[in-house]
Structure 1
Amino acid sequence: MTAPTLVRNKPTRPRRSVTLTVVMTLFLIYTLVPLWWLVVNSTKTQAGLFDSFGLWFADDFVFFQNLAETVTYRDGIFVRWLGNTLLYVVIGAGGATALATLAGYGMAKYKFPGRRAVFAIVLGAIAIPGTALAVPTFLMFSELGLTNTPWAIIIPSLISPFGMYLVWIYAIDAVPTELLEAARMDGAGEIRTFFTISLRLLTPGIVTVALFAVVATWNNYFLPLIMLSNPEWYPLTVGLNQWNAQATGVSAQPIYNLVIMGSLLTIVPIVVAFLFLQRYWQSGLSAGSVKQ
């Protein structure tokens, strides 16, 4: 009898698609070109914005001068707008994440009468765009005397049906019911079980909800526009739009360089938040990839 021959499996090379590479390259260019334009033009003077090519630097590099003028213009109103935006994000988006986590976890791991009705209501709330609720919200807050106050922005930001739904779906598989039952048999209460076991397993989902809430609150424009009339309570979105209107209106003032610098400063915190939080996604995606 002849000895069986061993056949070595050659490692397969990853398949490459020229079409997919071209499409992704176009998406990358489409994403980076506006950011590059913003960075380049933040280094130019008011005159240099119109006398030089938009995608390359001018002779005069005045980045730090534009930065100083932006944060000191009109007694530092930009810094006040930045503080307002941070206030709305920390309380509004933070509260929305906490409420969505508690509600979504409860819907996923507890059974109670009316659970299906709540599910239908949540799905219906997700389907309604936020702009459609802005005017009714304004009328309701006007009756309560809360317009032109920070609460007019913070309270609506606390409600996140999509965040609740996301935590709900994620918690069904991320938190095994057997693990919760074992903790209960060991004498752990529901609150202790949630904070010591479930919360750690839900971290990737919570981070995702938090980033969605932060971006939505940071970029919120229409609601503050109709709720606030005092510039002292404007967020960055409404304040920069006011500067832009000031630069293009009838009595235009040459502050395009400030608008561009302010726009660049506005996106920096979001980029930093994304880079800081993405590690939690990576750890969460790989946590259940290997079974013992």
Structure 2
Amino acid sequence: MTGLSTTTAASRPAAPPRSPAPRLRAPRRHTPGRPKRSVLLTVLTVVVLLYSLVPLLWLLISATKTQQGLAGSFGLWFDGDFALWDNITQTFTYQDGVFGRWLLNTLLYVVVGAGGATFLAVLGGYALAKFPFPGKRAVFAVVIGAVAVPTTALAVPTFLMFSKIGLTDTPWAVIIPSLISPFGLYLMWVFAVEAIPTELMEAARIDGAGEVRTFFQVALPLLAPGTVTVLLFTTVATWNNYFLPLIMLKDPDWYPLTVGLDAWNKQAYAAGGEVVFNLVITGSLITIVPLIAAFLLLQKYWQSGLAAGSVKE
């Protein structure tokens, strides 16, 4: 029996080796730190990046060329004669150094106009956010409506009003309209609602602080990110303001950079005018440098100001 069993077992064919069971691939989870990749989003990002950087690259390269080099070379590559420093010198000395006067005028409009607009927006936004009063909904509707109205639509009525009181062709014709920023007021209103706890204001009042002291010592430090954000927006709007100074000012000594560079550019199309495209391009490059520096220096405050209130705790 033992031999028969051994023979029978030996005569049986060996079982084929079992293949390992297929392993099911776990679904890929996309965590916040590892977002899902999107080819379309990547392509759109590259397109937007090129759209933003190519004009700046052209401006930087063109500022290194002479007047003849601008016409005889490829726009996105350097010419044989590197004339950046000569162009900068000529820009500040052309027409008795009027470019420096335009730069100082622009700084004046930004410091007084944009700075005043930011301060008024902070005051108004804080008051609208933290003090109840009758007609608050109506004020909100007016502010939203003012944000929707383009500034160019108000330029002609503003000019007629200022001409009646004799303020045209003066710096006040540019500064006073710049003090009003409906978007800045709305942004500070929304920011102050979440940034300033009401309990903190009540604690300051219990300790004997008045409303002015409560604002400057308690509320204002908490509003710093939103204040910087509004300051950046109003600075860019005032620095790039073109249409309002164009219709308000006749004296070239009060021109900002935008209107002054446009006047240099139009010389090429006037009878007997001097062609200074190289100075216009170099002046444009100098004009954007302060804005780039402001964004880089205040970037962290700007980002935190935009993100404030986006997460509910």
Question: 1-side partners of 2:123 and 2:304: how far apart?
Answer: 22
Residues 197 and 87 of structure 1: is their aligned pair in 2 closer, same or farther, counting only changes over 3 Å? same
Displacement of 1:114 in angstroms is 2.1
Larger radius of gyration: 2
What's 1:173 paired with?
194
Deviations 1:140-193 (A, max 9, x none): 111111000000000010011111111001111111111111221222221111
The reply on whether 1:200 has 2:221 as its aligned counterpart is yes
* Aligned with 1:111 (options 127, 132, 135): 132
Deviations 1:43-77 (A, max 9, x none): 00110001111001010001000000000000000
* Aligned with 2:302 (options 281, 285, 291): 281
Residue pair 2:229, 2:306 contacting (<8 A) in 1 also = no
3-state SS, counterpart of residue 181 of structure 1: helix
* Aligned with 1:123 (options 140, 144, 163): 144
What's 2:74 paired with?
53
Question: 2-side partners of 1:204 and 1:266: how far apart?
Answer: 26
What's 2:265 paired with?
244
* Aligned with 1:151 (options 172, 185, 202): 172
Q: Which AA in structure 1 matches 2:149? A: I
Deviations 1:201-235 (A, max 9, x none): 11111111111110111111111111000000000
Displacement of 1:250 in angstroms is 3.3
What's 2:60 paired with?
39
Displacement of 1:248 in angstroms is 3.1
Question: 1-side partners of 2:282 and 2:298: how far apart?
Answer: 25
Question: 1-side partners of 2:312 and 2:254: how far apart?
Answer: 52
Deviations 1:224-261 (A, max 9, x none): 11100000000001000000000233334221100000
Displacement of 1:124 in angstroms is 1.6
Question: 2-side partners of 1:246 and 1:81: how far apart?
Answer: 17
Runs of at least 5 residues in structure 2 that lack an aligned partner in the other structure:
1-27
Q: Which AA in structure 2 matches 1:179? A: L
Task: Work out the percentage of aligned pairs sharing the same amino acid.
Answer: 67
Residues 140 and 10 of structure 1: is their aligned pair in 2 closer, same or farther, counting only changes over 3 Å? closer
Residues 182 and 92 of structure 1: is their aligned pair in 2 closer, same or farther, counting only changes over 3 Å? same
Displacement of 1:283 in angstroms is 4.9
3-state SS, counterpart of residue 15 of structure 1: coil
Q: Which AA in structure 2 matches 1:227? A: M
Question: 2-side partners of 1:289 and 1:118: how far apart?
Answer: 24
Question: 1-side partners of 2:299 and 2:136: how far apart?
Answer: 33
Q: Which runs of 4+ in 1 moved over 4 A?
A: 9-12, 282-292
Question: 1-side partners of 2:82 and 2:175: how far apart?
Answer: 39
What's 2:119 paired with?
98
- Number of aligned residue pairs: 284
Residues 215 and 282 of structure 1: is their aligned pair in 2 closer, same or farther, counting only changes over 3 Å? closer
Residues 112 and 59 of structure 1: is their aligned pair in 2 closer, same or farther, counting only changes over 3 Å? same
Question: 1-side partners of 2:172 and 2:30: how far apart?
Answer: 60
Runs of at least 5 residues in structure 1 that lack an aligned partner in the other structure:
1-8
What's 2:22 paired with?
none
Moved more, 195-204 or 62-71: 195-204
Question: 2-side partners of 1:137 and 1:286: how far apart?
Answer: 35
Residue pair 2:226, 2:306 contacting (<8 A) in 1 also = no
Deviations 1:112-133 (A, max 9, x none): 1222221121112112111111
3-state SS, counterpart of residue 47 of structure 1: helix
TM-score, normalisation: structure 2: 0.86
* Aligned with 2:46 (options 25, 46, 70): 25
